[in-house]
Structure 1
C-alpha cells in the first residue's frame, strides 16, 4: 500500500506514521507539505497512492480547489481530509467535492485507524456530532437531543464501553479504565451488539462510525509501571 500524507506540519505527518502502519505494516508513506508537493508526488511516482490524507489549510490548497485538483489526478482513489477545523458545512462541502471522509485532528489514533479502514472498504467516513465546532452554521444548540436509533437503546455504561471499543481498546483495558470485571465488559458488549445489530467488535465499530453517533468522551488508558 502507498499512502500520501499531505500536511504542512511535520509533527502531524510524523505523528500519523505509527497509526498508518497499523493499516499495513509494509506501507510506503510519502510526505508532502504543500499542494504542489502533493501533486508532484502523485504525478512523479508509480504506482499512484492507494490513499491520500489531505490537510485543507496547507500552502497552495485554496480551500476545496486543492481537493478538486487531487481528485482529478486520482479519481478512483480515496482522498480523506484530516483537518483541525470541522464545521458541519466544511465536512459536507468536502464530501460533495469528492472526499471519501473527513477526520478531525482531535480524534484518537485508534479511532482514526478504524475510520481509514472504513474508507478503504469503500465507505465514506463522517465525524460524529461531538467533533463539530460550535461555529457550525446550524448553531450549537440545533443538534438533536438524544442519540440516533439504535444507539438510543444503549445504557450510559454500554455507550461508554462502545466508545472505548472504537478507540481500539481490549476488554481488559476497558475493564481497568471503568473499574469493572472483564466478564462484565463481555456481558455489556453482547448487549451492545444485540441492540445495534452487530455480529462482532469490528462490525460494532463500523456501525458506530457510520451512524453519526455522538461518541462519549473517552478516558485515557492508565497503565501501571513495573
Structure 2
C-alpha cells in the first residue's frame, strides 16, 4: 500500500528536496504541499493524506495549531513535526498538540523516509538518539497546565513499563531491563495506551513526564 504524504513547510527548497526523495520511493507518494498551517488543515480535509510532515515556524497559522486541528479531526492523518533542535522551543507543545513524533531538519533524507513509514504504520517516532534529548529538554519547560495526570488504574508493572517508555527505551530494551518478552512489553504498552487514553507512544512519553515518573535532564 502506498503511503500518501502531505508536505508542509514555508521553504519551497525544503519541500522540493522532500518531494524528490519521496517520489523516488516506491511505497511513498506526495499527496500535496502547503506553505502554512491554514493551508495544511484545508488540504488534509480535501486530500486525506496518511502522514503530514509539518514544519513549526510558518507565517500565519503555525505548525502547532495546525497539528492540533488535524489530529482533532476524524481523518486518519498522523503528523510528524519537522523542526530544528538548536533553536526551536516549540517541540513539546507540538507533541502535546497530538504529533506522532518529530524529525530534525539536518537528518539524512533516508532517515526521514524511514520515519514517515514508522508513523504511517501506526507507531510513533521515538528514536532514542534524538527523542530522548528533545523530550527531556522540553518536558521541563512551562506549558499551559494540562489536566493533572495520575497513575490510578495502572498496575505496578505497567508503571514500570511507562517509566521506561518515558525514558525513550525501545520495546527490546524494556524487555531486557524487566526480563520479560518483547511480546509482553507490547501487551503492556497497548494496555497503557487504552488506560491512559493516549494516541500513541509519544503521548505515553509525555504522560510519563506529567506523572513525574521521568525527570527532565539538564
TM-score range, shorter chain: 0.5 to 0.7
CA change 1:27–1:87 in 2 (3 A) is same
Q: For each residue in 1:99-151, what CA deviation from the matched residue of structure 2 results, as whole angstroms up to 9, or x when unmatched?
A: 11111111111111111111111110034445757x93689xxxxxxxx7978
**1:181-223: CA deviations, max 9, x gaps?**
xxxxxxxxxxxxxxxx9xxxxxxxxxxxx9xxxxxxxxxxxxx
Q: CA deviation at 1:7?
A: 0.4
- Choose the corresponding residue for 1:5, options 1, 4, 7: 7
Following superposition, the deviation at residue 87 of structure 1 comes to: 7.8
CA distance in 1, matches of 2:125, 2:62: 23
Q: State the match for 1:40 in structure 2.
A: 42
Cα distance in structure 1, aligned partners of 2:128 and 2:88: 10
Q: Distance in 2 between matches of 1:79 and 1:109?
A: 17
> Post-superposition shift, 1:5?
0.5
SS at match of 1:98: coil
Alignment match, 1:114? 114
Does structure 2 retain, via aligned residues, the 8 Å contact 1:84–1:105? yes
Indicate if the aligned counterparts of 2:80 and 2:100 stay in contact, CA closer than 8 A: yes
- Unmatched runs of 5 consecutive residues or more in structure 1: 140-147, 152-196, 198-209, 211-226
2:80 & 2:30 partners in 1: Cα distance?
Answer: 17
Cα distance, 1:74 vs structure 2:
5.2
Question: Aligned partners of 1:40 and 1:73: how far apart in 2?
Answer: 12
Distance 1:3 1:63 in 2: 16
- 2:33 is matched with 31
Cα distance in structure 1, aligned partners of 2:84 and 2:128: 15
Tell me which structure has the larger Cα radius of gyration.
Answer: 1
Question: Structure 1 residues 53 and 128, CA, compared in 2 at 3 Å: closer, same or farther?
Answer: same
String of CA shifts for 1:18-61, please: whole Å, max 9, x gaps: 32235446724311101122123223x34x11211111111223
Cα 1:65/1:92, change in 2 over 3 Å:
same
TM-score by length of 1: 0.52
Q: TM-score by structure 2 length? A: 0.53
The Cα RMSD (Å) is 4.1
Gaps of 5+ in 2: 141-168, 174-181, 183-201, 203-218
Secondary structure, aligned partner of 1:136: helix
Q: 2:102 touches 2:125 (CA, 8 Å); kept in 1? A: yes
Q: Residue 91 of structure 1 contacts residue 126 of structure 1 at CA under 8 Å; is this kept in 2?
A: no
Tell me how far apart the structure 2 counterparts of residues 80 and 60 of structure 1 sit (CA, whole Å): 19
Q: Which moved further from structure 2: 5-14 or 116-125?
A: 116-125
CA displacement at 1:12 relative to structure 2: 0.2
